[in-house]
Amino acid sequence: MTSVSSSELTIGSLALTLNRKAIKNLHISVLPPDGRIRVSAPEKMTETAIRMAVIKRIPWIKKQKQSFINQPRQSARQMVNGESHYLWGQRYRLEVIEQYGRHRLAVKGVSKLVLKVSPNTSTENRLRVLEDYYRAELKQRIPVLLEKWLPRLGVTLSDWRVQKMKTKWGSCHVENKRILLNLELAKKPPECLEYILVHELVHLLERKHSDRFKAYMDQYLPNWQEVKRLLSQSYLTSVK
């Protein structure tokens, strides 16, 4: 396991998390949803060198942070009648029916999500029913996409999972041939799920976001840049 030393660093008005790792090059990441800055630096790199590298990237860092500030966000959900929720890019109004029995959620017509819960069910438990529904929806669609894309890309996968993730739409563990997909993707248009899945599978061919990686994406999913923009412009769930 790689050893990581973490600390906090302030450069001007920027506060960042500094992780020292056994790596060759410095990496700067500006993370959604709030523009948190993370710097991964080689273990022997001096703090002065790190500061100089960050200072050179300040215009880029501020641009990235501003993009998160400008991004539309969905307010915290209360799970009450009339509230808006999204499923596969479509907006639905929530109808809550209180009755004793098994909690469940279902689509009604083209505009309603009907949530049936016991009286006095907490907001947290109502949200759990919604999340379970999103998870089930994803687990229906992902195998179909994998059946399509694994042979096209010529790669194999040992495992995949759906997970709540704060900073990524997906991730790929190349060594284990395992991918994780964000539960939030059930709210986005279907092409967003396909784009993220293909993106993570392509990492099995090329680890880094290199020109070779982009060439693979252009080859297999020519509209990936357009879908990436669509995903970045869609609503994010607010994070407390």
The confidence score (pLDDT) of residue 220 equals: 97
**Six-digit token string for 193:** 């799920």
The confidence score (pLDDT) of residue 110 equals: 87
The confidence score (pLDDT) of residue 178 equals: 96
**Six-digit token string for 130:** 């919604």
Query: Can you tell me whether residue 32 is helix, strand or coil?
Result: coil
The confidence score (pLDDT) of residue 8 equals: 87
Per run of 10 residues, the mean pLDDT along the chain (length 240 residues) is 71 88 89 80 92 92 77 68 92 94 93 94 95 97 97 96 88 94 94 97 93 95 91 55
CB 139 within 8 A of CB 119: no
What's the predicted TM-score (pTM) here? 0.70
Least Cα distance to 14 among 46, 43, 53, 72 occurs for 53
Least Cα distance to 134 among 105, 165, 160, 91 occurs for 105
Rounded to 5°, angle at Cα 69 from 64 and 73: 125
Beta strands in 65-158 (DSSP E): 73-74, 84-87, 90-98, 104-108, 112-117
The confidence score (pLDDT) of residue 22 equals: 87
State the Rg of the chain over Cα. 21
Least Cα distance to 16 among 66, 56, 45, 51 occurs for 51
The confidence score (pLDDT) of residue 74 equals: 56
The confidence score (pLDDT) of residue 232 equals: 75
What domains are defined for the chain? 5-70 (no CATH), 84-237 (3.30.2010.10)
